[in-house]
Amino acid sequence: MKEITLTVNDKQLSGKEGSTVLEICQANGIDVPTLCHLDGLSDVGACRMCVVEIEGERKPVPSCTYPARDGLVVKTDTERLEKYRRQILELMFAERNHFCMFCEQSGDCELQKLAYRYQMDNVRYPYQFPSQTMDALSDYLVIEHNRCVLCGRCVRVCSEIAANYALDFSGRGVKTLVSADLAQPVSESTCTTCGACVQACPTGAIFSKLSLYRGITDECQRITTVCPGCAVGCQLDVLVKDNNIVRIEAPELSGIKGPLCKEGRFELLRETRPRLTSPLVRGKQGELEECGWDRAMEIIAGKVNGSKDSFAGMISSRLPNETLSIFNRFINEAVGSGLLDTLDGDICRVISEGIKRFQNNGNGLAIECPIEEILDADCILIVGADPKNTNPIIGNLVQRARRQKGAKLIVVDPSRNVFPLWTDLWLKPKAGSEGALLAGLGKALVDKGLLILEKAGTELIQSLKKYDMVKVCSETGIDKGRLEMAAEMYGQAAHGVIIYGEGLLNSEDPSLITCILNLAALTGNVEGESLRVISLKPGANSRGAWELGLAKRGVERNGLKGLYLLLGDDQVNDGLIDRLKGIGFLVVQASYQSPVTAMADVVLPSPIWAEREGKYVSMDGNELEIRRALKPREGMLQDQEILVKLSKKLGRELITS
Amino acid sequence: MVAKVKVATAWLDCCSGCHMSFLDLDEALVDLAQAIELTATPVTDIKEFTPVDLGIIEGAVSNEHDEEVAKDLRANCKILMVWGDCACFGGICAMRNLFSIEEVLDRYYHTESSVGDRIPSSEDLPPLTKVRPVNQVVKVDCYVPGCPPSAKAIHYALAELLEERIPIIPSEIMRFD
């Protein structure tokens, strides 16, 4: 980009051609007031707060949409501009119903801050008092039209960043409203409740029900940590006041993981499970009773000592590396059984085995690509995965690629189309026939000459060539034309990304994964050492647990005398309850009461996500730092401390440094 | 001794919080008492205005009586200052403008009433009007917004006026809540 020079407030500033006047001012520390502008969103010049005077222009112009040119002479702070800005503010206040004294956003409101800045102590225009409605039906957010200034930041963040296109304007002129879909209540619309609009709104027009009156930004401490919700590893800014979480927001709204999702932004604040605060042991009546740490640990140590070889450990992969490592050593060194697995171990082993079989790959998950690749994709193939539900940010990236960049989207799923509004082609194989479908896809690619054959082993090519398309079609129930269409879309793509997940992983067939890797490799979707393939792993730190080797082998339940489950604040499902039935002695270290703690012989309280620190490894291999946002309550121990103390009781020091 | 500045105040449709905030000036009131003389105010309980240097209004104009009081004080003062969001912008009182007067009276005397089931009427009772900030009824010279304004903001405004300057509350101490 060409370097340009302009004069702003009598100072020479340089910038890049293609920037707006506002961008160059902001980059040089010149404070131009804005309201509808938000970094990372397109500019629309809706509010006129950023008007500037430019020599040669007949009237003030909005700097956010004015392209900077070499030699421009700009004034940003004249008396005339100040007058106009104050007038604009008065008009905004007069247009709808702004009552700061009872607004939960007071103190955090950009409109209010601007009014203070321009000393707006009265309004010269008659107030309109329009009768506006308020949509408070959602459990998460409220759209309060009375306080809306129609800046459109929510509309733009919903389309440009969240790529959900749920919000838009309806009506015209003063009757314009921000609306979800065709003016539905937001809770009944296609809104995914990611909450990006809440963060984007400059006033109290869209606000979170969960953060109401809990505190304003200035009163809060901001701690940047990592979301424990899924393996994407989004950074969260946790705003804390008096050791309570006021709200959660994205450190960088327009970043790749910027919009966050319902889980990260809201659900973490909606925790209702009863918290465990003290160790519990079975009393004489068989009821769980509170007891001291020492007694609980002695009971555990006594049981472990009596059955060392058949005492196993299971851990949630929602816990950070540090906890996983200590647990690994606890089971291997202090207990000594080496019987160790993660709750999602089965799934990890399927992926692991599938990857290992692919060209005898020894690099493990490094074969997969970063999630950013999705944004550059021109074709996305989703196999047995529902990213919008399991990893919403992945769903968001898929929709961005599809809608904003025109990528083709193919969904392979036996029961439903996981992107109903966006899918170009939905292949619906009969349940259990995904393997045949993938092979059929390979066959169609061979037939169409879309595979890079020199990379494939002759054996593979031969086996694919011999494959019978008629058989594939009858096995999968998909007609040949559709398979060929999918082969063309994916095969002809310059940048094809395959995403697979739960649906495929639950099949417990690693060859499906090998097949997916082959498809990517043979269509040239290779980026250095890795392939454009992404697996959606179940836990926030599944990859960390995998890399630490915690899920190498499963634990055979038969013959187990005891089991130590380190659950942390993870959710309990029926599958887990089934797996724990009939175990002689069960220790559960968990944050919340659950059916699983009710089954336990000893329960130890564990910190929740916001009370922990350590490291996660995201699904695409980035090491992320978890910071402690909340002080744990008195008498609580960190997971590692518990394991170290318990090991000591078993006669083993685990402390290293 | 310099002649004291004569001050009259009035409260219209309000909660009297702004006058309470004025009392929050605490020890500054002692110095202020040397410089000003309160004439007709809710504090002195004198209701009839005489000519003063400074008139102060708290509250919005919500009925015909409010309008009359505002006009009366305006006619009797050289400078008119208004206190609080109700007087500056309409404030909490103005929220009833979102409904018709009939709806408001019905809600108050029928739905929510605990004192009978009748909308009172008497020629002594001023009819309700649309709620307006004071500057839509009479000319206002200076404004101290806030709900209520802080004692600091009120003190700033009075100090400026005593120095014969028309105050505009600085951004740092201006509040709407």
Task: Inspect the interface and report whether the beta carbons of A121 and B144 lie closer than 8 Å.
Answer: yes
Q: Is pLDDT above 90 for A654?
A: no
Mean of the pLDDT values across residues A178-198? 96
Task: Inspect the interface and report whether the beta carbons of B177 and A131 lie closer than 8 Å.
Answer: no
Q: Is pLDDT above 60 for A466?
A: yes
Q: Which residues of B touch A85 (CB under 8 A)?
A: none
List, for residues A592-630, the tens digit of each pLDDT value.
999 999 999 999 999 999 999 999 999 999 999 999 999
Q: Is pLDDT above 70 for B15?
A: yes
pLDDT band, residue A145 (cuts 50/70/90): very high
**Six-digit token pair at B60?**
């919005």
pLDDT averaged over every residue in chain A? 94
Query: What integer pLDDT is reported at residue B113 of this predicted model?
Result: 73
| pTM for the predicted model, two decimal places | 0.94
Query: What integer pLDDT is reported at residue A656 of this predicted model?
Result: 58
| Backbone φ and ψ of A52, nearest 5° | -135, 165
Q: Which residues of B touch A107 (CB under 8 A)?
A: 177
List, for residues A333-356, the tens digit of each pLDDT value.
999 999 999 999 999 999 999 998
Q: Is pLDDT above 80 for A463?
A: no
Task: Inspect the interface and report whether the beta carbons of A99 and B95 lie closer than 8 Å.
Answer: yes
Q: For chain A, what is the radius of gyration of the CA atoms? A: 29
Beta bridge mates, A341:
A314
List, for residues B98-138, the tens digit of each pLDDT value.
999 999 999 888 888 777 778 888 999 999 999 999 999 99
Q: Which residues of A touch B177 (CB under 8 A)?
A: 100-101, 103, 106-107
pLDDT band, residue A657 (cuts 50/70/90): low
Q: Which residues of B touch A127 (CB under 8 A)?
A: 89-90, 94, 97, 133
0.85 surpassed by complex ipTM: yes
Identify the closest residue of chain B to A97 by CA–CA distance: B95
Question: What's the start-to-end Cα distance of chain B, in Å?
Answer: 39
Q: Is pLDDT above 80 for A457?
A: no
Considering A26-30, A448-452, A548-552, the range whose residues carry the highest mean pLDDT is: A26-30
Percent of chain A with pLDDT over 70: 98
Percent of chain B with pLDDT over 70: 98
Query: What integer pLDDT is reported at residue A527 of this predicted model?
Result: 87
Mean of the pLDDT values across residues A416-438? 94
Query: What integer pLDDT is reported at residue B170 of this predicted model?
Result: 98
Top-level class of domain B5-96+131-173: alpha beta
Chain A residues in contact with chain B using a Cβ-Cβ cutoff of 8 Å:
93, 97, 99-103, 106-107, 112, 115-117, 119, 121-124, 126-127, 129, 131
List, for residues B68-96, the tens digit of each pLDDT value.
999 999 999 999 999 999 999 999 999 99
What domains are there in chain A, each with its CATH number? 3-77 (3.10.20.740), 120-269 (3.30.70.20), 280-344+542-619+628-649 (3.40.50.740), 347-535 (3.40.228.10)
Query: What integer pLDDT is reported at residue A623 of this predicted model?
Result: 97
Query: What integer pLDDT is reported at residue B112 of this predicted model?
Result: 81
CB neighbourhood size of A528 (10 A): 7
> Burial level of A372, CB count in 10 A (0-12/13-18/19+)?
exposed
Percent of chain A with pLDDT over 90: 86
Q: Is pLDDT above 70 for A455?
A: no
Q: How many residues does chain A have?
A: 657
Mean of the pLDDT values across residues A62-89? 97
List, for residues A469-491, the tens digit of each pLDDT value.
899 999 999 999 999 999 999 99
Task: Inspect the interface and report whether the beta carbons of A121 and B170 lie closer than 8 Å.
Answer: no
Query: What integer pLDDT is reported at residue A270 of this predicted model?
Result: 95
Q: How far apart are CA A311 and CA A601, in angstroms?
A: 14
Q: Which residues of B touch A101 (CB under 8 A)?
A: 85, 91-92, 147, 176-177
Q: Is pLDDT above 80 for A464?
A: no
Q: Which residues of B touch A93 (CB under 8 A)?
A: 89
Query: What integer pLDDT is reported at residue B121 of this predicted model?
Result: 87
Whether residue B152 lies within 8 A of chain A, CB to CB, comes out as no
Task: Inspect the interface and report whether the beta carbons of A102 and B92 lie closer than 8 Å.
Answer: yes
User: Where are the domains positioned within chain B?
Assistant: 5-96+131-173
Q: Is pLDDT above 80 for A465?
A: no
Q: How far apart are CA B9 and CA B56, in angstroms?
A: 4
CA angle A230, A202, A68 (to 5 degrees): 100
Whether residue B13 lies within 8 A of chain A, CB to CB, comes out as no
**Six-digit token pair at A38?**
């938000």
Using CB atoms, which residue from A103, A117, A121 is nearest to B145? A121
